[in-house]
A and B are shown apart, each in its own frame.
Chain A
């Protein structure tokens, strides 16, 4: 049983399209995150939700909109995709907003052509 699962694993799309990445965790955690990993393997936080409430919103273009229908799900919707959005996107969760140990999903490789 995968603790943090993301779909799809690979996403290839054209510039200007809108796409979504889904994430679900079955750990019973309250807090979920989206991280972006660039081609140099640099990991940077994008968003964090605690029990469906947005608590961290880094400097991310507003083309990126996270949505948390419940505390087990955190989806990422991206409008008007650009070449620079190509990266690996990781979902993660932690027991609560104060617990630092993150559990990561296996990532979604987004390629914008």
Chain B
């Protein structure tokens, strides 16, 4: 299944299926992007990141795709498991006054159905 990740929608997938979570970012000058997973009652946890000089990066069961032309980022989760149920955030980096500032999207709720 697919979802657009700016209005906290819910993406429901069956266990074992692949998930695709989408995100549109705002700043064409952003040079770094990161995906976080937030489980209920916990803080965001790093999943995977990508720099703007790349268009794809793979981790363990996760892949991030970056399309700078349309300012679009996606997170693909292979063989989705119940433990993947969480809110997923994309974030882009902007530099401000020498500080490192991440701007987060509004998140997508992923629900894995057994």
The reply to whether B89 and A43 form a contact with Cβ atoms under 8 Å apart is yes
Q: Give per-residue flags for B86-114: 1 if the beta carbon is below 8 A from chain A beta carbons, else 0.
A: 01010001001111111110110000000
Q: Give per-residue flags for B34-61: 1 if the beta carbon is below 8 A from chain A beta carbons, else 0.
A: 1010100111111001000000000000
Binding site of B, secondary structure by majority: helix, strand, loop or mixed? strand
Closest residue of chain B to A45, judged by CB? B101
The reply to whether A107 and B101 form a contact with Cβ atoms under 8 Å apart is no
CB-CB under 8 A for A56 and B43, given A41-B106, A42-B104, A101-B34: no
Query: Which residues does chain B contribute within 8 Å of A94, judged by CB atoms?
Result: 100
Minimum CB–CB distance for A102 against chain B, Å: 7
Query: Which residues does chain A contribute within 8 Å of B42, judged by CB atoms?
Result: 106-107
Task: Say yes or no for A55: interface residue by CB 8 A criterion.
Answer: yes
The reply to whether B104 and A48 form a contact with Cβ atoms under 8 Å apart is no
The reply to whether B104 and A56 form a contact with Cβ atoms under 8 Å apart is no
A100 to B101 alpha-carbon distance, docked (Å): 8
Beyond A104-B44, A106-B42, 17 additional pairs, beta carbon < 8 A = A40-B106, A41-B8, A41-B87, A41-B106, A42-B107, A45-B101, A45-B102, A56-B99, A97-B99, A100-B32, A100-B49, A100-B93, A101-B46, A101-B49, A102-B46, A102-B102, A103-B46
Q: Which residues of B are at the interface with A, using a C-beta cutoff of 8 A?
A: 8, 32, 34, 36, 38, 41-46, 49, 87, 89, 93, 96-104, 106-107
